[in-house]
Structure 1
Amino acid sequence: MVDRPNKPMALATTPGLPPQAQVNITHNNSRVSAVLPTGESVEVLLYGATLISWKDRAGSERLWLSEGAKLDGSKAVRGGIPLVFPVFGTAPEHKAAGNLPQHGFARTSKWEFLGKSTSESQGKNESSVKLDFGLSAATIDDETKKLWPYNFSLIYSVSLTPTTLSPASRSPTMDIAQVSVTGLDEAEYIDKVDGAKAKKQSGTVSITGETDRVYTPAKGPSEPVVVSEGGRTVYSVVRDNLEDVVVWNPWTDKAQGMADFEPKDGYKNMICIEAGAVKGWQKLEKGDTFEGAQTISV
């Protein structure tokens, strides 16, 4: 079990109190869903603590999820919001992480649901909900322990309000040709499609082919990274203690080569914006903690 102080308990409905978020565990205890009184909702797969759905009050989906995504725990989910730990990509030269699979093991491990907490904004009559999930050295499987024989404990929180989601985003769009990303001007980045060359962004980012870049925004995590479509803001992403931003779209050939990427022309309707600590390692002394977050506003 993940040791967490003040672990939230399920909240019962009390007559006379304002409506609160409803949280349910479904699909044979493999998913956790939450619905706000105003109708917004999220759904988290305990396999990988992967957020597979974020809907607005009208029921419209805000996350891209491949139609071929495996939701049965057989492999990492294609789409939604994955959680990457302890390595982004692979690190074959790194002594501790050299044998780990692509993007580590957090996205392919079974997480615990630790509970929920809810609140209501003063004077706004708006509810919010926070779902907490845990993974530790005691709960990973034996094969993973062989690959990562270190003591660790992770707490992952997903918070939902009527207008924001924390922490992350893969953004659905209607037409990738109309999409632009701002907030990355003057940012240094690594272009993984062009031999991992170091480059510098000039102006807005548009997607015209396979894109796989690791940006370090020049103005820091608090500067919003904004995804727009046809000049209309779709999402605004603000990070906390996460210096890097990955921008990814597989385009035609890569999409064709991914068995779980469906439909094959789905690259026209998605862009991946991922916040993280990607370019370098975070060094922690014994007993230290690292905390990072991001908030997506619509």
Structure 2
Amino acid sequence: MSKSTFGQLPAVTIRAADGAQASVTLYGGHLVSWQTSDGQERLFCSRASSLDGSRAIRGGVPVIFPQFGARGTGMRHGFARVANWQLEASGEADGAAYAQFVLHHTDLPEAIGAAWPRAFTLRLRVAVRGQSLQLSLSVHNTGEQAFAFSAALHSYFAIDQLSLARVGGLQRVRYSDDTPQEALQAQEWLQFDDKLDRIYYQLPGAINLQSGSHTLRLEQQGFTDAVVWNPGAQDAAALPDLADDEYQRFICIEPALIEPDMLAAGAEWTGHQHIEVKPAGSDPTSI
């Protein structure tokens, strides 16, 4: 583990013995870079993003807590991605390099803490090895009253070209988008012509993202749902922290807990995501 910076933000970089590495900013507990052992960057970060702590980072893996999007009365996507986390532990285990970050409710700025006055501890664990990334997010209710929360890991995956990428593993899964009606996905592979914003509920298994010469296999536990998102040309042009052409270079596939979960006093919830990279011609189910 070594201390580093990302833009103007203090960060921590971990490196496995095989060359895989990851960098996390303390601002937001935000994974901003994941390189597999072949040196390939697997995450997207916008060149237009503010990297001075003035607003959330556009790209990487923002931590979403305690609400998803505008589904609540608080800050959009919650405050975890704009709070200052602490490095709690780092090291190596089974050939993987890892770092663990923590955010206590007492670490929040007064205005945010007053708006969401619950006692909690968040922990994010990041581990890399070879062609894989393991993320774990835990929520511990350290208070005396139950509270409801939502959570997600808003992962931006780098792709070669949006129109040539496709997402599998969602056939016959129930989803909602901009319309009030829910639907079942009919097609085996989801492809992108322009903007797409869907929540898939009660995910039955792994998701596969195929792009160029590789396939990402994404498995999750604890997170019941998944969000698949790309802003398309028109919405990308309206985002000040995303260059107009950059929507072509990423797809967001987010493990999520969309419907708020009630966490009892003293209880803990944990969500996991495991990502493995394979050559595009291989069978991703064999990972």
* TM-score range relative to shorter protein: 0.7 to 0.9
1:235 aligns with 2:216: yes
1:30–1:46 contact (8 Å) kept in structure 2: yes
Q: Bigger radius of gyration, 1 or 2?
A: 1
Gaps of 5+ in 1: 1-22, 93-97, 121-126
Letter of the structure 1 residue corresponding to residue 257 of structure 2: A
* Partners of 1:226 and 1:233 within 8 A in 2: no
SS of the equivalent of 2:23 reads strand
Q: Which residue number corresponds to residue 283 of structure 1? A: 262
Aligned-residue Cα RMSD (Å) equals 1.5
Q: Is the 8 A contact 2:28 2:81 kept in 1?
A: yes
- Displacement after TM superposition at 1:37 (Å): 2.0
| 2:84 alignment partner in structure 1 | 110
Question: How do residues 196-275 of structure 1 correspond to structure 2 at under 5 angstroms?
Answer: 196-203=180-187, 204-217=189-202, 219=204, 223-229=205-211, 233-262=214-243, 264-275=244-255
Task: Report percent identity of matched pairs.
Answer: 28
User: Whole-Å Cα distance in 2 between the matches of residues 178 and 253 of structure 1?
Assistant: 19
State the SS of the aligned residue for 2:263: coil
Distance 2:61 2:12 in 1: 14
**Which 4+ stretches in 1 moved above 2 angstroms?**
26-29, 56-60
3-state SS of 1:295 partner: strand
TM-score scaled by structure 2?
Answer: 0.85
Contact 2:156 2:250 in 1 (8 A): yes
Residue aligned with 2:106, SS: coil
Is the 1:186–1:218 Cα contact (8 Å) retained in structure 2?
Answer: no
Distance of aligned partners of 1:256 and 1:79 in 2 relative to their CA distance in 1, 3 Å threshold:
same
The answer on whether the counterparts of 2:9 and 2:53 sit within 8 Å (CA) in structure 1 is no
- The alignment status of 1:26 with 2:4, answered yes or no, reads yes
The whole-number CA distance in structure 2 between the counterparts of 1:186 and 1:237 is 18
Q: Distance in 2 between matches of 1:163 and 1:60?
A: 10
Q: Which structure has more RCO (C-alpha within 8 Å, separation ≥ 6)?
A: 2
Determine which structure has the larger strand proportion and give its number.
2
**Aligned: 1:85 with 2:65:** yes
Alignment of 1:1-298 (within 5 A): 23-27=1-5, 30-92=10-72, 98=73, 100-120=74-94, 127-167=95-135, 169-192=155-178, 195-203=179-187, 204-217=189-202, 219=204, 223-229=205-211, 233-262=214-243, 264-278=244-258, 280-298=259-277
Size of the aligned set, in residue pairs, is 256
1:108 and 1:291 map into 2 onto residues whose CA distance is 21
